[in-house]
Every structure is written in C-alpha cells, then in structure tokens.
Amino acid sequence: MKNKLSGREQEVYFNLEVGMIYDVNAILNLVHLKKTYLPAVLSSMNRKGWLTRLKRGVYLVNSPKLKVLNDPFLVATNIFRGYLGFSSALYVYGAMDEYPSTIFVCTKETSALRPLSRGIEVKAVALGTRATGEVPFNGYFVSSKAKTLYDNFYLPEYSGGYSNLIAAIPRLNLDSDDWKMFLFYAKKFGKSGFCRKVGFLLDTLNSFAAGTVPESVLKGLNFGKQIVKLGSGHNGKFIRKWHVVSYIGEGDLFGKMDYG
C-alpha cells in the first residue's frame, strides 16, 4: 500500500484489528482523538485504502496489501441494515453446501446491489412489512427457519429456483414449532392461491421424503378454490386436490434431491 499513514492515522489504525468492522463510536473508545478530528482522519484513511467505508460511520479495516473480508456475511449486514435471508440463510443453516456468490440481506425499504471482492456481491432486498422474523444464529442475524422457508417460496429466484429450495427443505430440520410459524407467515402474507401452490409443492415433497411436512401444515395451506398456475408453458397438469395447474415436472423439481 503506497499511501503512508500520518501520525494520527497510525494511532487509529494500530488500535484496530484487521478484517474487523467498527463504527465511529467504537473507534472513539479505542483511540485518544477528539471527536471533531476523527471524521477527517477516517476519510483520509479510506482514500488511502487502509479502511473501507461500508456506509456512513461504519468502516472495514484493511491489511496493508489488500481489502480484507474475514466474514462477508457480517460485512453484508453492516452495509445494509437488515438480516441474512434467502439462499444466504439456507447456507448459514447448513441446508445448502455451495458458498453463495451473492449474499442476500433482507431489509424493510432498501433494494440495492453492491460488489464486495473476490467475486462476492451483496444484494439488499426490500420486503416492506414482510421484513420480520429475524433471529440470532451462529453470530449472525438471520431469518428464522420458518421465515427463511416462507421468503424463499415468496421469491424462489433468490434460492436458485424451486428445485434448490425443495432439496434444501429436509436439511433445514424444521420442528413442529417451525412448521407452525411457517404456516402463520404463509397465511399472513400470502393469498389462497400462493398457499395452495406451496401446499402442492410440499405435498409432492412428501411423496419423495415421507413425513417431511406435517399433514396439519398441508391441510392449513389448502383453502380457496380459484385455479392457479405454477410455472408456465404448455401441457400443464391439473392437480385437483390443490386446484393448481402445474407446468413443472417432478424431474425438474426433485432432481437435485436424487443426486444430492
């Protein structure tokens, strides 16, 4: 790193830990600088590359040679005020194996995309009133298992599609309370057509992995009679039990379960 630190900047830098994230108040507690001086010092260190400004008043401490991302998930939730969701939550819970190139943060109002480094980006997804249900887990704030399942059915593209989501469900290890909360979210935020599409998919999952979804959940999702479509295309199959016309073949849905 060519840009050398001034005396004041050295006092800040050598009291911080490389790879960690600090806000201004935390830095003030570690150094002996007046509060009026600190913004200018941090701004200079950001320009020189010793710090990376994640958002107003929040900084990532870099090494002398490169930007450091010890934990991109923590960085992501410090950039956007929210919690880990969608495929990121599935990964944190161990329901997906592939390390995500996009880290999803659920927010109330902010939708944005921001690159980090090493091919990783952060995507903030505004959920409005649906931005609820976060819990602490392994050092992160993440959507609860029940809310993770609901959110991924609501926006399946953020888990890589229904096939990825279906393969992940048995590995989420939802207990009876999780399923009750999932049913609560599905009925609170989803209309009858949404609930029946989800019910059909979960019902079909039970035919491949018996007992994964409680019958009480399936019963709770099966209300309303208006016919709805799942997917698009030609030669859809009408599922009378759920009043769903499905254009998605079982091979497309469950192939990833078969092959792990």
H/E stretch holding 86 reads: helix 86-92
Per-residue CA distances from 120 to 60, 113, 117, 178, 179 (Å): 16, 11, 5, 31, 32
Q: 219: pLDDT confidence band, cut at 50, 70 and 90?
A: very high
Q: What is the pLDDT of residue 66?
A: 67
What amino acid is encoded at 35 in this protein?
K
pLDDT(209) > 60 = yes
The rounded distance, in Å, linking the Cα atoms of 22 and 17 is: 9
Bridge partners, 172 (sequence order): none
Query: Could you give the domains of the chain?
Result: 7-61 (1.10.10), 72-259 (no CATH)
pLDDT(2) > 90 = no
Which of 88, 80, 68 has its CA nearest to residue 113? 80
Q: 234: pLDDT confidence band, cut at 50, 70 and 90?
A: confident
Give the lowest-confidence range in 1-10, 137-146, 162-171: 1-10
Reported pTM: 0.79
The dihedrals phi and psi of 42, each to the nearest 5 degrees, come to: -65, -40
